[in-house]
Amino acid sequence: MRLAVNIDHVATLRNARNEQQPDPVTAASIAELAGASGIVCHLREDRRHIKDRDLERLRESVTTKLDLEMAMTGEMQRIALATKPELITLVPEKRRELTTEGGLDVEGQLAKLKKFIPPVRDAGIEVSVFIEPERGAVDHAAEAGADLVELHTGPYSLKKNRADILAELDRIRTAAAHARESGLRVVAGHGLNYYNIEPFSTIRDIEEISIGHAIVARAALVGMESAVREMLRLINAPS
Ligand code: PXP
């Protein structure tokens, strides 16, 4: 299983003092050298962490795969078409949220998705849609013309007792299998950390995991290289 590293919160730390350090672009390079298969950044409408210039610099330096997380707006579509990341991930975005709070309403936004996705794919950029791990959401993402789905693991990460954790894992496993059968590639992310990641190493239909906060938090104390290597060890633990 591969690991994509989201470096947004390196920018959060930098922005706390309006200075240049730590640099998310340097963090991305170290994550790649440590084995990350991709770098993820979310350019938010309010630019609270990653800024436009960071995205330009990431595009120049990322050699694995750049995944631009973004809301489905005209502004973001223009930026994606100009920057040409390998992949965009469409997420819902609310101004007041601390982080992305749920999957995209793919059913309600189906008509918009069907218009939004083709010009992006025509430009050679793959499109992933962040969805709840549900059969209907998978079907709508396939109908919208996405290449991949990213299954939302936030609810899994919040479960406290074993029965609830196993039930949520089962929901993710089932949705992943259905997505693969529907011709979609599958990744997963949100809220995953060093303590809840291990069961994912057994879900073969998921090809990549996307992790931000937990890796950046550990990197602040032990360094990005160790933080990435340790997570890779866990997601590829023998089952
Ligand atoms: N996937 C998506 C779609 C996200 O919006 C985020 C948060 O930016 C992540 C993965 C990473 O989540 P976390 O920071 O909790 O690892």
Measure the CA–CA gap between 95 and 150, rounded to whole angstroms: 21
pLDDT bracket for residue 95 (50, 70, 90): low
Q: What is the pLDDT, as a whole number, of residue 94?
A: 76
Q: Which of 15-29, 83-97, 105-119 has the lowest mean pLDDT?
A: 83-97
pLDDT digit string (tens) for 166-183? 999 999 999 999 999 999
Catalytic-labelled residue, pool 69, 93, 150, 208: 69
Q: Please report the pLDDT score of residue 97 as a whole number.
A: 73
* Mean of pLDDT over the chain: 96
Is the model's pLDDT at 18 over the cut of 90?
no
Peptide bond into 133 cis (omega under 30): no
Q: How far apart are CA 89 and CA 187, in angstroms?
A: 11
Could you say which of 42, 49, 140, 152 is catalytic?
A: 42
Helix/strand/coil (H/E/C) assignment for every residue in the chain: CEEEEECHHHHHHHHCCCCCCCCHHHHHHHHHHCCCCEEEEECCCCCCCCCHHHHHHHHHHCCCCEEEEECCCHHHHHHHHHHCCCEEEECCCCCCCCCCCCCCCCCCCHHHHHHHHHHHHHCCCEEEEEECCCHHHHHHHHHHCCCEEEEECHHHHHCCCHHHHHHHHHHHHHHHHHHHHCCCEEEEECCCCCCCCHHHHHCCCCCEEEECHHHHHHHHHHCHHHHHHHHHHHHCCCC
- For the chain, give the number of residues: 239
Q: At 32, is the pLDDT very low, low, confident or very high (cuts 50, 70, 90)?
A: very high
Percentage of the chain modeled with pLDDT above 90: 93
Distance CA 224, CA 72 (A): 31
- pLDDT, residue 237, reads 84
For a ligand 1 pocket test, name from 2, 88, 99, 197 the mutation site with the most ligand atoms within 8 angstroms of its C-beta: 99
The pTM of this model reads 0.96
Q: Is 3.30.450.20 the CATH number for 2-235?
A: no
Contact indicator for 14, 220 with CB cutoff of 8 Å: no
Ligand 1 shell residues, CB under 6 Å:
6, 8, 42, 69, 89, 91, 99-100, 130, 150, 189-192, 210-214
Dihedrals phi, psi of 146, to nearest 5 degrees: -70, 155
207 is catalytic: no
Mutate to test the pocket of ligand 1, among 3, 50, 190, 192 (most ligand atoms within 8 A of CB): 190
**pLDDT tens-digit map of 121-180:** 999 999 999 999 999 999 999 999 999 999 999 999 999 999 999 999 999 999 999 999
- Dist. CA 175–CA 84, nearest whole Å: 29
- HSE (side-chain half, CA atoms, 13 Å) at 14: 21
Reported as a single tens digit per residue, the pLDDT across 188-217 is 999 999 999 999 989 999 999 999 999 999
- What are 52-91's pLDDT values in tens digits? 999 999 999 999 999 999 999 999 999 999 999 999 999 9
Give CA–CA dist 68/114, Å, rounded. 19
